[in-house]
A and B are shown apart, each in its own frame.
Chain A
Amino acid sequence: MSFPSSQKISLARREALAGYAFIVPWIIGFLVFTIGPMLASLYFSFTKYNIIDPPQWVGLANYEKAFSGIWNAVRTGDARQFGDPLFWKALQVTIYFASLALPLNLGISFFLAVLLNQKVRGINIWRTIYFLPSIIAGVAVTLLWVRILNPRVGVLNPFLKDVIGIQNPPGWLADPDWAIPALVIMSLWGVGSSMIIYLAGLQGVPTDLYDAAKVDGANAWQRFWNITFPMMTPVLFYNLVLGMIATFQYFTQVYVATSSSIAGLGSPQHSTLFYNIYLYQNAFRYFDMGYASTLAWILFIIVLSLTALIFRSSDAWVYYEGQLRGRG
């Protein structure tokens, strides 16, 4: 009676051991490259640390530096009252960029995906063209856009002036008010990466739903709003979360566009001082590893809570296919 079951246990144990054995590379990597460094940076965030001297415990001083002076700054409306005005500037720049780039990116890429899901001639060529920019994102593309947008020798402003008739086209990356819109334009050129995910989602919408709606007499517009759109909300949601996380880590474009200008990283007038740029500056320019670790943990908590927020609010507007079926 007990013999077969004990054999079963040993077989199960053997299977479990084999399973654990195969994931050992990840477990080591997780401990050494993820959880260990995370805990270490949490510790550093409570220290003063310049790499050369050993870390010195300072308690909450780094967090105080970031958050002190809020009350005075809000009361007087004077950003100089902040304990670290640049920290708030970096948050503001990042959120401003996200508030422009994310809605535009989500809207345009969804619109393009719907168009690219139509049965028109040469559809594969169109899809290839729109996807192309997103596979080469990085330094080369940013160097190109810096030159396109250059107010003196660029190609965009002559076009705006001579063809569209705008008398004083903006200075783009050279103008504190236009630097963020310029980066938004650059990012929109690469909408292909989220577009392709929508496209995959659109192709996953079961055709029997459309057939049923047609039988019920729904027109194309009604089919779009009542089937396509609800079915696509999980993908919209996915792209929204990813886009937000990406904005808080936005780096290469800003670094390449501003580090070689005279005014330096985040120029002009800190108008492109993205959160991740400020973090990099503190860590690898000022070697203030303690404060940089604090910034990293604040970033982590922001990303975590925004993700959680979207997850919680998603019940209200995200449909999953399973739910849809459950109701029907």
Chain B
Amino acid sequence: MKKESEGLFRIFRSASGHELLFKGIVTLILASGSVLILIPFLYMISTSLKDPAQIRSDSASLMPRKPKTVPINGNPEPLYQVTIDGQVYEYALIKKIPNGLGQFVDPARADVIHELKINEQKQLYRWDVHWENYPEAINAMPFWRYLGNTLIVTFVGMFGMLFSCSLVAYGFSRFRARWLNVLFLVLLSTIMLPSQVRLIPLYIFFQNLGWVNTLLPLIVPQFFANAYDVFLLRQFFMTIPLELDDAAKIDGANPLQVLLYIVLPQARPALISVGIFHFLYAWNDFYEPLIFLHTPENWTLAVGLQTFDAVYTINTHLIMAVSVLMIVPPILLFFFSQRIFTQGVVFSGIKG
């Protein structure tokens, strides 16, 4: 015994043992933290599959379930796993009586009543999954309309952003001119600019154009570049060697052709990661759609879901079902592009 513990002690004293212990602790902390991260997701999914009765009576359970029942004298009564003198039985609870006691019977012999403390017995449940919540939720709101609007805003906006930001980033990375550096600093300074400081005049401007309550205020500005994405793309363009540019120029290519045939094909990883970031931003955005879109036929999913919640807030199961549908595309995108994603962050975060 003594020898063994000494051996264990020696392992932990040794360098590799130290490291083993350290890694064990790290894994333990990471695992417990990730439970905290994942439980809300599980709760969202399970709530979306429950029926309203369960949400009211049994909201904390992570399992969409119903109490198991057996018919006793024609009435369905809840089934419990009870322990009597160390023996385990499945008995039905037929009546609650004072002092936390209940009358339990064996379903096969309903005449013999056992009085037991209810909270010392384990109630039995069965799975009760309501897939129909999803079609019901989709039909309870103009879901496809919201989805269509969201997709238009997201993808047309993404196209505009990639188009304009590529041009601008190319201008800032490949040409020498006195004012370009100054203008680049101006561009960078707008990253920190709170959007509220220009929001009200923009609203009035779009209203005068007749664009309020259309998707245009969310889409058109994307065609005029934004500081954040220009910065990311420019940083990437700077890493692309100039030799190919020069070769193409000698062959008579003009600057636009150099951008199209030399720079952009090499910048694909950066374009994709900027595109993904834009997708996530546009898909989740709530602030601007809330301000610019006023009637249901123009809402995006984010605004539509919030409004649905405001009107039908008791229908938790339906709201959670739409919420699940809304988080699925970003999660899928994330899993399929994880590598590009983390590279994009690495490069956007600090490498600048």
Which residues of A pack against B, CB within 8 Å? 12, 15-30, 32-34, 36-38, 40-41, 44, 51, 112, 115-116, 118-122, 126-133, 135-141, 143-145, 147-148, 153-155, 158-159, 189, 196-197, 200-201, 203-204, 234-235, 238, 241, 245, 248-249, 251-252, 255-256, 259-260, 276, 279-280, 283-284, 289, 292-293, 295-297, 299-300, 303-304, 307
Q: Is the CB of B221 within 8 A of A144?
A: no
Q: Is the CB of A51 within 8 A of B177?
A: no
User: In the complex, what residues of B have CB within 8 A of residue A127's CB?
Assistant: 342
Task: Give CA–CA (A158, B346) in the complex, Å.
Answer: 40
Task: Give CA–CA (A111, B164) in the complex, Å.
Answer: 39
**With A19-B175, A51-B204, A144-B44 as given contacts, are A135 and B33 in contact (CB-CB < 8 Å)?**
no
Q: Is the CB of A29 within 8 A of B287?
A: no
**With A144-B323, A159-B60, A196-B345 as given contacts, are A292 and B200 in contact (CB-CB < 8 Å)?**
yes
Interface residue? B108 (CB, 8 A): no
Task: Give CA–CA (A145, B316) in the complex, Å.
Answer: 12
Q: Is the CB of B37 within 8 A of A129?
A: yes
User: Which single residue of chain A is at the shortest CB-CB distance from B221?
Assistant: A33
Task: Give CA–CA (A196, B341) in the complex, Å.
Answer: 10
Sorted from nearest, which 10 A-B pairs have the closest CB atoms?
A: A29-B224, A19-B175, A22-B171, A16-B177, A37-B198, A40-B201, A260-B310, A138-B284, A140-B323, A37-B201
A134 CB to closest chain B CB, in angstroms?
9
Interface residue? B194 (CB, 8 A): yes
User: In the complex, what residues of A have CB within 8 A of residue B330's CB?
Assistant: 135-136
Q: Is the CB of B172 within 8 A of A23?
A: yes
Task: Give CA–CA (A28, B174) in the complex, Å.
Answer: 20
Q: Is the CB of B176 within 8 A of A30?
A: no
Task: Give CA–CA (A252, B178) in the complex, Å.
Answer: 42
A202 CB to closest chain B CB, in angstroms?
10
Q: Is the CB of B34 within 8 A of A15?
A: no
Q: Is the CB of A300 within 8 A of B310?
A: no
Interface string of B125-163 (1 = CB under 8 A from A): 000000000000000000000000000000000000000
**With A143-B319, A235-B350 as given contacts, are A248 and B194 in contact (CB-CB < 8 Å)?**
yes
B162 CB to closest chain A CB, in angstroms?
12
**With A33-B198, A260-B310, A292-B200 as given contacts, are A197 and B349 in contact (CB-CB < 8 Å)?**
yes
**With A23-B183, A135-B280, A141-B327 as given contacts, are A255 and B30 in contact (CB-CB < 8 Å)?**
no
Interface residues of B in 303-339 (CB under 8 A from A): 303, 305-306, 309-310, 313, 316, 319-320, 322-324, 326-327, 330-331, 334-335, 338
Q: Is the CB of A143 within 8 A of B30?
A: no
**With A26-B230, A139-B326, A283-B199 as given contacts, are A20 and B177 in contact (CB-CB < 8 Å)?**
yes
User: In the complex, what residues of B have CB within 8 A of residue A299's CB?
Assistant: 194, 196-197
Across the interface, B187 reaches (CB within 8 A) one of A26, A130, A251, A292, namely A26
User: In the complex, what residues of B have CB within 8 A of residue A241's CB?
Assistant: 192
Q: Is the CB of A120 within 8 A of B23?
A: yes
**With A18-B255, A189-B37 as given contacts, are A44 and B221 in contact (CB-CB < 8 Å)?**
no
The secondary-structure label for the interface of chain B is: helix
User: Which single residue of chain A is at the shortest CB-CB distance from B343?
Assistant: A200
User: In the complex, what residues of B have CB within 8 A of residue A24's CB?
Assistant: 167
Q: Is the CB of A22 within 8 A of B168?
A: yes
Interface residue? B94 (CB, 8 A): no
Interface residue? B205 (CB, 8 A): yes
Interface residue? B27 (CB, 8 A): yes
Task: Give CA–CA (A98, B324) in the complex, Å.
Answer: 30
Task: Give CA–CA (A129, B335) in the complex, Å.
Answer: 11
User: In the complex, what residues of B have CB within 8 A of residue A136's CB?
Assistant: 284, 326-327, 330-331
User: In the complex, what residues of A have CB within 8 A of residue B194's CB?
Assistant: 245, 248-249, 296, 299-300, 303
Interface residues of B in 40-73 (CB under 8 A from A): 40-41, 43-44, 47, 55-56, 59-60
Interface residue? B291 (CB, 8 A): yes
User: Which single residue of chain A is at the shortest CB-CB distance from B36?
Assistant: A189
User: Which single residue of chain A is at the shortest CB-CB distance from B285?
Assistant: A138
User: Which single residue of chain A is at the shortest CB-CB distance from B180?
Assistant: A19
**With A20-B180, A28-B224, A120-B30 as given contacts, are A283 and B338 in contact (CB-CB < 8 Å)?**
no
Across the interface, B178 reaches (CB within 8 A) one of A16, A120, A259, A289, namely A16
Q: Is the CB of A235 within 8 A of B349?
A: yes
A163 CB to closest chain B CB, in angstroms?
10
Task: Give CA–CA (A159, B59) in the complex, Å.
Answer: 11
User: In the complex, what residues of B have CB within 8 A of residue A131's CB?
Assistant: 334
Task: Give CA–CA (A276, B291) in the complex, Å.
Answer: 13
**With A19-B176, A128-B338 as given contacts, are A200 and B346 in contact (CB-CB < 8 Å)?**
yes
Across the interface, B167 reaches (CB within 8 A) one of A15, A25, A129, A155, namely A25
Q: Is the CB of B37 within 8 A of A130?
A: yes
B320 CB to closest chain A CB, in angstroms?
7
Interface residue? B91 (CB, 8 A): no
Query: Given A34-B193, A147-B47, list of 13 further CB < 8 A pairs?
Result: A18-B171, A22-B175, A33-B221, A33-B224, A41-B200, A127-B342, A143-B309, A200-B342, A203-B346, A241-B192, A249-B195, A260-B310, A293-B200
Interface residue? B88 (CB, 8 A): no
Across the interface, A303 reaches (CB within 8 A) one of B33, B172, B187, B192, namely B192
User: In the complex, what residues of A have CB within 8 A of residue B204's CB?
Assistant: 40, 51, 289
User: Which single residue of chain B is at the shortest CB-CB distance from A12?
Assistant: B176
**With A135-B280, A276-B196 as given contacts, are A19 and B174 in contact (CB-CB < 8 Å)?**
yes
User: In the complex, what residues of B have CB within 8 A of residue A249's CB?
Assistant: 194-196
Interface residue? B225 (CB, 8 A): yes
User: In the complex, what residues of B have CB within 8 A of residue A51's CB?
Assistant: 204, 207
Q: Is the CB of B225 within 8 A of A25?
A: yes
Task: Give CA–CA (A121, B350) in the complex, Å.
Answer: 27
Task: Give CA–CA (A40, B199) in the complex, Å.
Answer: 10
User: Which single residue of chain B is at the shortest CB-CB distance from A152?
Assistant: B59
Q: Is the CB of A21 within 8 A of B171?
A: yes
